[in-house]
Each structure stands twice: as C-alpha cells, then as structure tokens.
C-alpha cells in the first residue's frame, strides 16, 4: 500500500508575512532623487514591525528638510498595497540620526556606475571635509569642490581636473 504524505495545511498568506519579504518589496522602491539605488540601500528603512495583520515600516529622514521623504513614504505604501498589505503604515524616527555609512557597498558601486561619486566613511572625514574624492567617470583623484550644495540636499557639486567634467558627490554625513 502506498503511503500518502500529508502536508500540514497552512493559511494561504501567512508565511509570506516575514520581515525578509517586506524588505524584498521595499527593495523595489527606488529613491525618487537618486533612482539608481532603492530606499533600503539608502538606509532610510530602519525596521519593519508587525501587529496582527498590520505592517509598519519605520523610516528615518536623510536630511531634516529632505523634500523627498513624503514621496518615499507614499511609494512605500503604494508598493505594500500592491502586494496585498492593505493595512500598511509608516512611522518616522529621528534617532539614531541617518548617516551615509548605512549605504551598502553594493549601493556605492551602483552610485558610481550612475555617475555619482559615493560618500566616504564618516570615520575618515575631518571637520574640514573629505580628503580625496575620486571622479566617478575617470577615477582621477584630482577633483575640486564647486559647491557644497548640489541638485538635492544629499549631494555636492564637484569638478574633475583630469577629464574636465563636473560631477555630483554624495556628501558624507
């Protein structure tokens, strides 16, 4: 007689609700200002919390006045709704303060490939700024600051003396 293997019958959706699963969904949400990286890689997603069937994403702003935070929140909720998390919400925390050290190595490579020089490590930066910043186009370290402020709060404007091209630098914060 052949034995039948009986699998335990699980509720249809429950096993999908893991932190990992939510992070996977959030990884589809691009940073609206630097679309080369997603919001998880940017480091603004600090945690994911569950209460019953509700999901709450804990966010921290990059800069106090970053105008993209609302769009990031809206897009995160959109993505979660699309994946069936109807009761998703977000919560903002300020502490610990966001730092570019939370941007992953992988994301740094993506930034460089996108033409933005990635931030240095905060531990290596003095009060007067980062020591050497390489051009994302030709990798020369002969670059100079044009303006501390670029097209978004998180970037500075630099110029490469080797390939004579301006480029944006993700500020170390």
Partner 1 sequence: MRNAETKSELSSRSQQDLFDYLLRLGDDRLVLGHRLSQWCGHGPILEEDLALTNISLDLIGQAKFLLELAGEVEGKNRSADDLAYLREAIDFRCLKLVEQPIGDYAYTIARQFLFDVYDYYQMEQLCDSKFEKLSAIAAKAVKEARYHLRHSRQWVLRLGDGTQESHRRIQTAFDEVWMYTGEMFEADDLEDRLLEEGLAADLRTIRTSWAALVHQTLVEATLTAPSDEQYMQSGSRKGFHSEYLGHVLSELQILPRSYPGAKW
Binding mask 74-93 for partner 1 (x = CB under 8 A): -------------------x
Q: By C-beta, is 58 or 157 nearer to partner 1?
A: 157
Decide: is 129 part of the binding site for partner 1 (CB under 8 A).
yes
Using CB under 8 A, which of 96, 105, 123, 164 touches partner 1? 96
Binding mask 137-156 for partner 1 (x = CB under 8 A): ---------xxxxxx-x---
Using CB under 8 A, which of 36, 137, 138, 157 touches partner 1? 157
Exposure string (b/e) for 92-109, b if CB count within 10 Å is 16 or more?
eeeeeebebebbeeebbe
Query: Rounded CA gap, 168 and 152, in Å?
Result: 10
Q: By C-beta, is 24 or 64 nearer to partner 1?
A: 64
Q: By C-beta, is 32 or 153 nearer to partner 1?
A: 153
Query: What's phi and psi for 20, nearest 5 deg?
Result: -55, -40
CA distances from 128 to 64, 71, 131, 156 (A): 22, 33, 9, 14
Q: Rounded to the nearest 10 degrees, what angle do helices 19-26 and 69-82 cross at?
A: 120
Is the Cβ–Cβ distance between 21 and 140 less than 8 Å?
no
Cβ 114 to partner 1 shortest distance, Å: 20
From the list 64, 65, 80, the residue with the least C-alpha distance to 26 is 80
Decide: is 71 part of the binding site for partner 1 (CB under 8 A).
no
From the list 126, 155, 134, the residue with the least C-alpha distance to 34 is 155
Q: By C-beta, is 115 or 129 nearer to partner 1?
A: 129
Residues that bind partner 1 (CB under 8 A): 61, 63-67, 93-98, 127-129, 146-151, 153, 157, 171, 173
């Amino acid at each position: 007689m052949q034995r039948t293997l009986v699998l335990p019958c699980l509720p249809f959706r429950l096993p999908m609700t893991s932190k990992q699963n939510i992070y996977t969904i959030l990884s589809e949400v691009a940073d609206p200002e630097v679309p080369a990286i997603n919001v998880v890689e940017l480091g603004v997603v600090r945690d994911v919390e569950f209460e019953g069937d509700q999901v709450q994403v804990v966010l921290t702003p990059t800069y106090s006045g970053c105008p993209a935070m609302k769009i990031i929140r809206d897009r995160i909720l959109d993505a979660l709704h699309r994946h069936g998390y109807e009761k998703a919400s977000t919560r903002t925390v300020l502490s610990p303060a966001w730092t570019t050290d939370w941007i992953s190595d992988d994301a740094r490579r993506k930034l460089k490939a996108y033409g933005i020089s990635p931030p240095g490590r905060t531990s290596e930066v003095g009060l007067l700024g980062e020591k050497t910043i390489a051009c994302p186009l030709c990798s020369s370290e002969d670059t100079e600051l044009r303006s501390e402020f670029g097209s978004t709060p998180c970037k500075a404007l630099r110029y490469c003396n080797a390939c004579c091209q301006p480029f944006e630098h993700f500020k170390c914060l």
